[in-house]
Structure 1
Amino acid sequence: MILTTLKLNLNTVDLTDEQFYQLCQNNRELNFERNAKGELIIMPPVGGESGNREADLIIDLGNWNRQTQLGYTFSSSTVFKLPNGADRSPDAAWIRRERWEALTPEQRRKFPPIAPDFVLELRSATDNLSTLQEKMLEYLDAGVKLGWLINPQQQQVEIYRLGQAVEVRNLPTELLGEDVLPGFSLSLNIY
């Protein structure tokens, strides 16, 4: 049995940010997100291969960040309260140091009200590609500067840049962090 993402339309139920936070805290075994339309999204867990790939990507980003100390790296367990009203959890994210440190301690403890500078999504076997592509566009709408959608099923990666058309590359390829993640490179071999 393959688990899929479940969307609940909450148009008539207006969850406050605090209520959404409490819903997540009271149901820690579930991964919740909210899109900019206010739909509640229940994310299925990923399998071993996707979890391992995701961990490797976070390690690569984290190692680069430890060397440069330019910002902070976040895992898929982090929910960001985006300026467009969405509450999203990218598989990996990064925020410049001065932007993160400008948040109050309370803002950092809960769901930080900030759009990451960089996000990475890794498509798992349970992910619908068009749903992930919509999520990537939502990130850009919220102010994310650079995003990578890695799609092992089609052996491609989609590169999202603020104010630019989406670039699609076939795997294997090398991705550069450009001016968002200066000096960061990621070699993607065939998954």
Structure 2
Amino acid sequence: MVITQSFVTEEELLHMPDDGYRYELIEGELRQMVPTGFDHGRYTGKLHGLLMIHVLAHKLGDVLAAETGFVIARTPDGRATVRAADIAFVARGRVPADADTTKYLELAPDLVAETLSPSDTAVEVEEKIPSWLKAGVRLALTLNPASRSVTLYRSLTDITRLTDKDELDLSDAVPGFRCRVSEIFD
């Protein structure tokens, strides 16, 4: 008996009908993402707003919301990995002038942020952060509402955990951006 596995292309993912869920594409396989709760939206929204104000004021690039997908890897046979972070930042000048921005861009954002939810498993988070960093993201962070903390990943070995008493400095990816961690969680 021959078992065939069908894979989804990024173009097919882009044009899937809305069934109430969000999806990512990992090496051509669909992964369903569960809708998030109120706290997830609240804290993600606060950081997104703080970043947006700073980025617009200084004309630094684009701050993107949760449904924005990026092709961050391909298998040797061309199957795509399309990821969507809760927040992404792409510096001005990085999007090619001829890019079709109605589709997923094939580039790694400069910054991604993921807000942990009760539905997130440790395995999911442990898989996402390395895949972003491997793709070339300069700075990845996770917001943890339960502990009111932020974990910064500059690499898999350069990891910093901040509490709500600390300052969050994202200047490595977003020039000049700083805020108190408490501004996100208060």
TM-score tier, shorter chain, comes to 0.7 to 0.9
Q: Given the alignment of the two structures, is residue 182 of structure 1 paired with residue 175 of structure 2, yes or no?
A: yes
Equivalent residue pairs, number: 176
TM-superposition CA deviations, 1:92-144 (whole Å, max 9, x none): 110011102x15342x1111221101001111222223311320111001110
Find the aligned partners of 2:97 and 2:23 in 1 and give their Cα distance: 23
The answer (yes or no) to whether the contact 1:123–1:129 under 8 Å persists in 2 is no
Aligned to 2:34: 44
Equivalent pair of 1:83/1:115 in contact (CA under 8 Å): no
Structure 1 match to 2:82: 87
1:64 aligns with 2:54: yes
Report the residue type matching 1:110 in the other structure.
Answer: K
Structure with more contact order per residue of length (Cα contacts < 8 Å, sep ≥ 6)? 2
Equivalent residue, structure 2, for 1:143: 136
2:8 and 2:29 in contact (8 A); partners too: no
Identity across matched positions, percent: 27
What amino acid does structure 2 have at the position aligned with 1:145?
R
1:30 alignment partner in structure 2: 21
Give the letter for the 1:157 counterpart: V
RMSD: 2.1
1:98 equivalent in alignment to 2:89: no
User: Residues 163 and 181 of structure 2 are in contact (CA less than 8 Å); yes or no, is this contact kept in structure 1?
Assistant: no
Gaps of 5+ in 2: 75-79
Gapped regions of structure 1 (runs ≥ 5): 1-10
Deviates more, 1:165-174 or 1:85-94: 165-174
Q: Do the aligned partners of 2:168 and 2:181 also contact (CA within 8 Å) in 1?
A: yes
Q: TM-score, normalised by structure 2?
A: 0.84
Structure 1 residues 152 and 160, CA gap change in structure 2 (3 angstroms):
same
My pick for the range that moved more, 154-163 or 39-48, is 154-163
Conservation of the 8 A alpha-carbon contact between 1:173 and 1:187: yes
One-letter identity of the residue aligned with 1:117: D
TM-score (structure 1 length as normaliser): 0.82
Equivalent residue letter for 1:86: T
Match of 1:172 among 136, 141, 165: 165
